[in-house]
Amino acid sequence: MQNISVSKPRLSIVEIINMSVGFFGIQFGWDLQRANMGRIYENLGANPDEVPILFLAAPLTGLLVQPIIGYLSDNTWHPKWGRRRPYFMIGAILSSIALIAMPHSSALWMAAGLLWVLDVFGNVSMEPFRAFVTDKLPDSQVNRGFIMQSLMIGLGGSIASALPWIMRNVFKLQNTAAIGEIPQNVKWSFYLGAFFFLASVLYTVFTTREYSPEELGIKKDEEKKGGFATGASEILHALRNMPKRMQIVSLVQFFTWPGLFLMWFYYTTAVAVNVFGGKDASDPVYAEGADFGSLTLSYYSVVTFLFALVLPFIADKLGRKLTHALCLLAGAIGLISVAWVQNKYMLYVSMTGVGIAWASILSMPYAMLSGSLPKEKVGIYMGIFNFFIVLPEIIASLGFGWLMRNVLNNDRLLAVQIGGGLMILAATICFLFVKEQRQRL
């Protein structure tokens, strides 16, 4: 495709909110699994060193799905449904079905398989949302569009992570179950997650319109033939020709995300065992600790929501790379400090740092990429950018189980601290090697 620069009208705040609401539901699904899958696996009989490999299928699939969906959505147009919205809707419907089925898993292989389905179609919904911002908004509003997505992510994540605690303490649902079964409070959390995922994505689908390729000034090359070979060739060409800034920001992502994955793998169970002193998934003390751990994960999403409101002003003053580096350091301190928590309420202090980092992770890397990607290939490049999120998860899934078993003695808390150390490395790379591009958010 050829790109011709066109002027897009500025959107009102209501229009920007409408196009971002779908991310509330998508994040609802992500945070439900992040806060609860380690617990579900242990309920179904997994040992801590087996947990990483059970997450493997999802990132392997995401590695392929993201650029493919990016390419397809770049080259899709339907007069009624548009360019990106068909993928929002299909992904949401199938992800919601997987969320409903997940708490009925009767074996590890079933839970891992449903997580694979959930991640595949979660990616189908999520990937076009990043390109959607660039499609819909003029350059002066693009970064605010990403910040609005961060707000929705923080809001969705805070509610989703708190649901098991709410179901236990407000609705009095059972939070323990025999090995091989899923507690009632987790089951109902997933049912509600399915509803919010589907409802919020459908809200965005039906309250927004998209510009046609002609309105965006994108014209198809007449000589180009479609098909799998063309798509694969375009993806490989884009990968080989990544803009320089994208290469460095991708490296920052590569070392950032293992810290998050290790937290999602082990944080709630580390709280249950190391802070509360629980023994295993059938122990009521363990269950209480896991519920409280999920509640503190909800709190970091609240911090994310609030911090995203002031993040643009901080970035205006300090610049994007310094802002992002400092936020990553806050997250690293938060993760490392969990090991010294004796009073459970101090976990909220640790998770404050994580919430600050998460707000920046969701927006600053995309803001640093702003202006460096060809408009007609934004979907492909956003998909490729995802490589540097899922590759660390694949490496962690393949190798961290061995480390847990042979080096860390299955110490969940130490695994969380290692994640903090990797965030420090990411912050250092960001500060030293990303070239600043000042632009008001």
pLDDT at 414: 93
pLDDT at 207: 96
Q: Does domain 10-209+225-433 have CATH number 3.90.650.10?
A: no
pLDDT at 349: 96
Residue entry with tokens 């490049």: 381
Q: What is the mean pLDDT of the chain?
A: 87
The first and second tokens of residue 137, run together, are: 């908004």
More confident residue, 418 or 370: 418
Banded pLDDT at 294 (limits 50, 70, 90):
confident
Phi then psi dihedrals of residue 82, to 5 deg: 90, -150
Average pLDDT over residues 260-270: 88
**Contact, 283 vs 335, CB < 8 A?**
no
pLDDT at 215: 82
pLDDT at 161: 82
pLDDT at 441: 43
More confident residue, 11 or 139: 11
pLDDT at 212: 87
pLDDT at 219: 66
How would DSSP label each residue in 49-111? GGHHHHTSHHHHHHHHHHHHHHHHHHT--BTTTBSSHHHHHHHHHHHHHHHHHGGG--SHHHH
Q: Which of 5-9, 106-110, 173-177 has the lowest mean pLDDT?
A: 5-9
CA 26 to centroid of chain Cα atoms: 9
| DSSP SS3 for 180 | coil
More confident residue, 48 or 431: 431
Residues contacting 415, CB < 8 A, separation 6+ = 262, 265, 266, 270, 400, 404, 408
Is the pLDDT reported for residue 21 higher than 90? yes
Assign 3-class secondary structure to 278-339: CCCCCCHHHHHHHHHHHHHHHHHHHHHHHHHHHHHHHHHHHCHHHHHHHHHHHHHHHHHHHH
Q: Could you read off the pLDDT of 113-159 as tens digits, one per residue?
A: 999 899 889 989 988 888 898 889 887 787 678 888 888 988 888 89
Element housing 193 (H / E) = helix 184-207
Is the pLDDT reported for residue 19 higher than 90? yes
List the chain domain ranges. Answer: 10-209+225-433
Is the pLDDT reported for residue 426 higher than 90? yes
pLDDT at 351: 95
The first and second tokens of residue 31, run together, are: 């945070």
Banded pLDDT at 440 (limits 50, 70, 90):
very low
Angle between helices 139-169 and 184-207 (to 10 degrees): 150
Is the pLDDT reported for residue 221 higher than 70? no
pLDDT at 203: 97
Residue type, 22: G
Average pLDDT over residues 222-230: 54
Assign 3-class secondary structure to 42-63: HHCCCCHHHHHHHCCHHHHHHH
Q: For the chain, give the longest Cα–Cα distance.
A: 67
Banded pLDDT at 223 (limits 50, 70, 90):
very low
How would DSSP label each residue in 213-260? TTTTTEE--TT---SHHHHHHHHHHHHHT--HHHHHHHHHHHHHHHHH
pLDDT at 222: 41
Average pLDDT over residues 273-297: 87
Distances (CA, A) of 109 to 38, 48, 64: 14, 16, 22
pLDDT at 47: 85
Banded pLDDT at 264 (limits 50, 70, 90):
confident
Banded pLDDT at 1 (limits 50, 70, 90):
very low
Burial of 416 (0-12, 13-18, 19+ CB in 10 A): buried
The first and second tokens of residue 153, run together, are: 């992510």
Element housing 3 (H / E) = strand 2-3
Whole-angstrom distance, CA of residue 76 vs CA of residue 91? 16
Distances (CA, A) of 278 to 284, 427, 436: 8, 34, 47
Most confident range, picked from 33-37, 317-321, 435-439: 317-321
Q: Could you read off the pLDDT of 343-399 as tens digits, one per residue?
A: 999 999 999 999 999 999 988 898 788 667 777 777 888 888 888 888 888 888 788
Banded pLDDT at 226 (limits 50, 70, 90):
low
Q: Could you read off the pLDDT of 159-195 as tens digits, one per residue?
A: 988 898 899 899 999 988 888 889 999 999 999 999 9
Q: Could you read off the pLDDT of 187-220 as tens digits, one per residue?
A: 999 999 999 999 999 999 999 999 888 887 776 5
Residue entry with tokens 């409101």: 309
**For residues 185-208, b (16+ Cβ closer than 10 Å) or e, as one string?**
bbbbbbebbbebbbbbbbebbeeb
**Contact, 305 vs 31, CB < 8 A?**
no
